[in-house]
Amino acid sequence: MKTLIKHIFRNRLLSAILLMGVSNGALATCSFMDSRFTPNDAVQLNLGSVIVQRDTPVGTVVWSATNNTLGGRNNFIECNATGYRTQWAAGSGYAPVAYSGQTLYQSGVPGLAFRIVTPGAGTTSGRYGTGPLPRQISNVPCTSSSTWWRLCGGTWGSYQLQLVKIAPTTGSGPITTGTITRALIVGETTIFDYAIASGTVQTVACSVTNPNITVNMGTAKNTDFRGTGSTSGNTDFAIALNCDASTNINMTLTAGSAGAADSTQGVLNLDNAGAADNATGVGVQVLYNSRPVSLGTRINVARTTANGTYSIPLQARYYQTQSTVTPGKADANATFTMTYQ
């Protein structure tokens, strides 16, 4: 009986020793070896007021920031084993959204989303890829032995956050705040957070208050013209706008149905060419800032400084296109297109 009890006791003791061995293996951990750093470290990104021009092309990055606070660290994590995986993980409150084969993250403002760029550094360069979070890799030590790893900032690398226009129409308003991306060691500890502290978006544009403009150029005499390229009197007119502050105003003037006699000199052909009552040998030239408008070319007019009205001053005049001018009607038309980008 005593022998049996002793045998059972020895078996239990052996089991306890084996269990202790398993526990010690499971206790392999990574810890901060540099007291300057903790798992609560974070960078708070402030976007400020982001101005988005209404006609900015889809796909444009309207704001971006690159940060290397984490990536610039020397060895600061020690793991008492090997084989760990590191990761860039999504924070909370930023739902994924598909755009052009990519996964971006909602910003809280319609038509705009965040692209998260994690290029890695050194031996991790390019390894995290560009897919949806989490992005995870292995074999990442900066210094190592057969029994331990040390990790540095280059294990994760720098971080870039981009705000991208993903739809033709964008809204205005506050950007979602909170932790958007987290660097960590899988199954171990959070290393670093990137968070959005504040930011707003304003989509700006102008409205045209006189979309249909008739310019009365009066009467010119054929004796006013002295040869091809000569002109007769300027008549002022203007495009009137009501604009948001910080709007980039661009104008493109294109010839109407009759086309252009000289696009680079802003000369329009007369309407109803060949009609018995039409003038011949002349066209209508349009000027901006006293210079001919290049038809079909976008002109950057101005960036507004305040909410309110804005006027684009233009002139029109007759322009001799042939060696001989005959009297008659001299009407022409053009289309102006306003863009804000």
What is the rounded distance in angstroms from the CA atom of residue 270 to the CA atom of residue 316?
Answer: 13
Higher pLDDT, 15 or 44: 44
Mean pLDDT of 325-337: 95
What is the rounded distance in angstroms from the CA atom of residue 135 to the CA atom of residue 146?
Answer: 26
Residues of the chain with CATH 2.60.40.1090: 206-340
**Can you give the pLDDT at residue 19?**
36
Which residues are CB-neighbours of 24 under 8 A, at least 6 positions away? none
**Can you give the pLDDT at residue 266?**
98
Q: pLDDT tens for residues 198-219?
A: 999 999 999 999 999 999 999 9
Q: Is 4 a residue whose pLDDT tops 80? A: no
Mean pLDDT of 191-196: 98
The CATH number, out of the four listed (2.60.40.1090, 3.40.50.2300, 3.40.640.10, 3.40.50.300), of the domain defined by the range 206-340: 2.60.40.1090
Computed over its alpha carbons, how large is the radius of gyration of the chain?
A: 35
Q: pLDDT tens for residues 219-258?
A: 998 788 999 999 998 999 999 999 999 999 999 999 999 9
Q: Is 259 a residue whose pLDDT tops 50? A: yes
Q: Is 23 a residue whose pLDDT tops 50? A: no
- Nearest residue to 210 (alpha-carbon basis) of 242, 254, 251, 245: 242
What is the rounded distance in angstroms from the CA atom of residue 284 to the CA atom of residue 169?
Answer: 37
**Three-class SS string for the chain?**
CHHHHHHHHHHHHHHHHHHHHHHHHHCCCEEECCCCCCCCCEEEEEEEEEEEECCCCCCCEEEEEEECCCCCCCCCEEECCCCCEEEEEECCCCCEEEECCEEEEECCCCCEEEEEEEEECHHHCCCCCCCCCCEEEECCCCEECCCCEEECHHHCEEEEEEEEECCCCCCCEECCCEEEEEEEECCCCEEEEEEEEEEEEEEECEEECCCCCCCCCCCCCHHHCCCCCCEEEEEEEEEEEEECCCCEEEEEEEECCCCEEECCCCEECCCCCCCCCECECEEEEEEECCEECCCCCCEEEEECCCCEEEEEEEEEEEEECCCCCECCECCCCEEEEEECC
pTM of the model: 0.80
| Whether the Cβ atoms of residue 263 and residue 255 lie closer than 8 Å to each other | yes
**Can you give the pLDDT at residue 81?**
94
What is the rounded distance in angstroms from the CA atom of residue 176 to the CA atom of residue 106?
Answer: 8
Q: pLDDT tens for residues 117-156?
A: 999 999 999 999 999 999 999 989 999 999 999 999 999 9
Q: pLDDT tens for residues 66-106?
A: 999 999 999 999 999 999 999 999 999 999 999 999 999 99
| Whether the Cβ atoms of residue 84 and residue 140 lie closer than 8 Å to each other | yes
* Percent of residues, the chain, with pLDDT higher than 90: 88
**Can you give the pLDDT at residue 221?**
86
Q: Is 15 a residue whose pLDDT tops 50? A: no
Fold of 30-204: Immunoglobulin-like (2.60.40)
**Can you give the pLDDT at residue 313?**
97
Token pair of 170 as six digits: 């964008």
**Can you give the pLDDT at residue 18?**
37
| Whether the Cβ atoms of residue 270 and residue 261 lie closer than 8 Å to each other | no
What is the rounded distance in angstroms from the CA atom of residue 63 to the CA atom of residue 163?
Answer: 5
Token pair of 111 as six digits: 């038509």
* Percent of residues, the chain, with pLDDT higher than 70: 92
Which residues are CB-neighbours of 175 under 8 A, at least 6 positions away? 47, 50, 107, 108, 109, 163, 196, 198, 199, 200, 201
Which residues are CB-neighbours of 108 under 8 A, at least 6 positions away? 173, 174, 175, 176
**Can you give the pLDDT at residue 28?**
53
**Can you give the pLDDT at residue 14?**
39
